[in-house]
A and B are shown apart, each in its own frame.
Chain A
Amino acid sequence: MNPGPVDLASLSVIILLCAPLLVSLLSRSQRLLIYSGFALTAAASLLAVFAGAWTVWSGETQKLIMLIGLPDLPFHLRLDPLAGFFLVVIGLLSFFVSVYSIGYVKGFLGKRSVTSLAIFYCLFLAGMYMVVLSDDALIFLISWEVMAAASYFLVMFEDERIENRRAAFLYMVVAHVGAIAILLSFGVLAGLATGFGSFSGYTFDAMRSAHFPVEWATVAFLLSFFGFAAKAGVIPLHVWLPEAHPVAPSNVSALMSGVMLKTAIYGIIRVTFDLIRVFPWWWGAIVLVFGLVSAVMGVLYALMQHDLKRLLAYHSVENIGIILIGIGLAMIFTAFKLPLLAALALTAGIYHTLNHAMFKGLLFMGAGAVLHATHERNMEEMGGLIHLMPWTAALFLIGCISISALPPFNGFVSEWLTFQAFLLSPSLPSPLLKLLIPMGAALLALTGALAAACFVKAFGVTFLGHWRGHHRPNVREADWPMRMGMIMAAAACLLLGILPTLAIGWMDAVPQQLIGASIGTSAGAFGWMWLTPVAYQRASYSGPIVFFGILGIVIAAYLLLHVRPGAIHRVPIWDCGFEKIDQRMQYNATSFAMPIRRIFGFLFNVKERVRTSQQTVHKAFPKKLYYSLHVRDRFWGWLYKPVIRASFWGSRKVGRLQQGRIQAYLIYSFVTIIVLLVFLR
């Protein structure tokens, strides 16, 4: 028998599950551990990419039943185009990050043992691949937990700091509340598929062939959407994300933000489009509304941050929102029996999934390189790094352009497709939706523009200008493995941006499998240069021409202007003749975002205080000025504080049972036994 894609994918998982053994054997020589461990994960990731790409390409579905696990409940694996696509997304970024990790993790040498980091890194990857591959509720939840637990330990890696422990705990709580919801949702689906008396409904196949009454299907959908939204960081369930992502090692934050959130997107698509299949339009509206809120609020919160990694974490919230917009539109179109439009919207959503993995991975790797070099996460202390870290700066800039949805990079293409899906919403039969959905397009435009503002801030404050901090660290450029990881991710951003037609043609099998329609033929009707999602009269975009056109004009203008030698005089800064400028006068992250903070201030909990020092000659000329600004997430106070207080209150009440006297405990046991005997005979 020839090995198929599913065998390759399971081989990759097996490698990742065995790698921890090798890693723990090598824990004596840490350097060798880093090289061999991460080389192994890189190889396993490449295998997964290969298996996934092959599946999507051929459009075939392969299954595998493993006779391990509980008696009579074997594990089912399945590799269909949807799973294959996500395998590629996860595998590609894991490959880049594994290469990057070889350089990055060396930064911990001599400070702490990296054995646990490498072990949980392997398990984390294995968990993500298994989530995508699993074809029954049991192994899905097991893999989901492996993924969550491994990432918990990765967030905890530098556990001597209290913020890491707090963040990891918060992450664990939210992840488990979500996991319970997913478990219940699968319970409902399995029970309805074959009746609550039998166990055989736990396979996804059984759910696929069942017909669900709409009210129970709604319960299952809402539960699973809640669970997956908690993992994806959809507002208002996002609070763990800006805590956990910044404190994790940067290679792990790249993976958590770039691909772990995507497993939740995978779950939403799997449950709605594949398992439940038939749904009313307002499910899509729910997804759309949550997507829009996450997109706008995510980017606004991101603008208020001055911690580079925290800023990026909030941008993950934004981008998950954009992906959900595509999926929500696809659900609405599907419910109204418009399969072509649904295919367009779904393609936009999954394309953005792939794109976000690439550029967010790149940005987190870049932030990691900066952190590695400066030991600083606070942007207010940074500046001028473009002169010291030219490679990192250029690559980070590519990530910034991509995430700001600017042509010709990849983020633009998927947002453009989402806009096209919005523009097609007037074909919906419902007048209310016709009126309301275009407003969503305006919110998406607002998101894109604010993201551009945010990344001007992030790049400008971090890499441009002068160093803002008091102490100037000895900054060195990232080493070659780190650079290679970033270069590959940046190349992926560019290629996905200028060759969208090929990428969409490749991922065509996914909407074909889920909706029964695809846009590949119409999108590529005019060859690989032109992207025409619906028809060329409707809209068209040519990535190669935009890229090479601008490049050509730039080069031509440069050459024309350099025919005649013109001198460049390097002089001190002019600044309108103001001579006493110093680096503390530069705009920083806080001042850059000030106009936006003022305009959208009502959405935040802003505490701003200005105080002047007492010792002055005159009130108008204070010697020192103290400024403090706290911008807090409103959701924390609205949603989480009450829950926390209620659970403390409840625990205190229950805690009264604890008397500390053996007599009381004996009475409790006695009463329990009596109650059980009376009621459960």
Chain B
Amino acid sequence: MNLYPFVMEILQVLILLAIGPAFVGWVRVLKCWAQGRSSAGLFQPYRDLRKLFSKDVVLAENASWIFRFMPYLVFGTAVLAGGIIPILSTDLPLAATADVIVLVSLFAIARFFTALAGMDIGTAFGGMGASREMTVASLAEPAMLMAIFTMSLASRSTSLSYMAQLVMSGQSVLRPSIVFALLAFILITLAETGRIPVDNPATHLELTMIHEAMILEYSGRHLALIEWASMMKLFLFTALGIAVFAPWGIASSADLLAVAAALFFMLLKLGAAGIVLVLIETGLAKMRLFRLTEFLGSAFLLATLGMLSYFILE
């Protein structure tokens, strides 16, 4: 029996767990440089996680099992998603578990439980975060689907590995539809991973929080799991974007050299993605909640334009 795909599967999950925090560290370092501050280094997220894991849990009196279950579930869906997205190799045993639509729904179930946990304690913050998160998500989801739809028109598939393989096989040139879909995807990624201008991951100010508001009451290992999962989520969305739009370098054969090259290209692309993210985040200000309609509306419009241009131009 061929062990190679299983080895790659395990390797991918390990990379996800290990490099997820480093990617966030990289973005923070870049941000500090861009804003003229001195940074805490690439490894600060690991130290944060270790600190949180070693602390006791402080739990509100009326927290139900949903509150305690949520961190594990969010972590679980993120790890499972890491086994499905082709990060290093397109030849994965779990790749057929889910296509892009299922993958988006996996993130949706994590969000569903996060929002419920936000409402569990019964504070105004939690409810506020839950309400805002679900509103943003419901506007982002149609745009996300349109972007995926545009990409799947060319490959006639929603299976990620297959889409990546087809792009890599070289028949794809830079088409207008891809550019539109990519722009839409970037906007949606900002919304889904809670970055500026939609949400601010660094803030704990009452009026601007979305994601942080839902997890205010968490502490100790629960908080560590949530933080880790949200770092992985940023990594996963970037990897998803890479797999769909720029998969060159991902190994498609069982070859040690190919895997090493895949690792190298992945780091390179992640580094570049971090730079793009930081440029966006330093260039923009956080938006008012009700301006988000326009923001996500334009994402939807871009994706729709991409699809129209596929039918009209290509």
Contact = CB atoms under 8 A, between A and B. Distances in A.
A598 B290 contact: yes
B298 interface: no
Interface string A498-540: 0000000000000000000000000000100010100011111
Interface string B114-131: 011011111111111011
A568 B125 contact: no
A541 B80 contact: no
Contact of A449 (B73, B77, B142, B153): B142
Contact of A557 (B76, B83, B109, B206): B76
B254 interface: no
Contact of B131 (A442, A450, A576, A594): A594
In which size bucket is the chain B interface?
35 or more
B207 to A, nearest CB: 13
A595 interface: yes
A112 interface: no
A10 B263 CA distance: 66
A187 interface: no
Contacts of B94: 545, 549
Nearest to A564: B54
Nearest to A407: B105
B135 A599 contact: yes
A459 B141 CA distance: 21
B98 A542 contact: yes
Determine the main DSSP class of A at the interface with B.
helix
A586 B122 CA distance: 6
Given A537-B162, A567-B57, A583 B122 contact: yes
Contact of A568 (B59, B83, B216): B59
A298 to B, nearest CB: 14
Interface string B277-307: 0000000000001100100000010001001
A595 B62 contact: no
A401 interface: yes
Determine the main DSSP class of B at the interface with A.
helix
Given A536-B96, A557-B76, A570-B61, A460 B130 contact: yes
Interface string B220-231: 110001000000
Contacts of A576: 125, 206, 216
B293 A599 contact: yes
Contact of B73 (A404, A416, A439, A550): A550
A591 interface: yes
A438 B140 CA distance: 16
A423 interface: yes
Contact of A542 (B57, B60, B97, B142): B97
A537 B152 CA distance: 12
A347 to B, nearest CB: 17
B159 A452 contact: no
Interface in B201-246: 206, 216-217, 220-221, 225
Interface in A393-407: 397, 401, 404-407
A371 interface: no
Nearest to A426: B153
A68 interface: no
Interface stretch (A89-97, A262-270, A381-389): A381-389
A585 to B, nearest CB: 5
Given A536-B159, A546-B98, A573-B217, 16 more contacts: A404-B108, A407-B106, A431-B311, A442-B304, A465-B127, A537-B159, A539-B159, A540-B159, A553-B79, A557-B72, A571-B61, A573-B61, A574-B216, A576-B125, A585-B123, A591-B127
Q: What 3 A-B pairs are tightest by C-beta distance, nearest first?
A: A587-B127, A465-B122, A460-B119
25 contacts: A384-B62, A397-B66, A406-B105, A416-B101, A452-B137, A460-B116, A464-B116, A465-B119, A465-B127, A466-B62, A536-B96, A542-B97, A546-B102, A549-B76, A554-B69, A554-B73, A557-B72, A567-B56, A568-B59, A571-B60, A571-B61, A572-B60, A575-B121, A595-B135, A598-B290
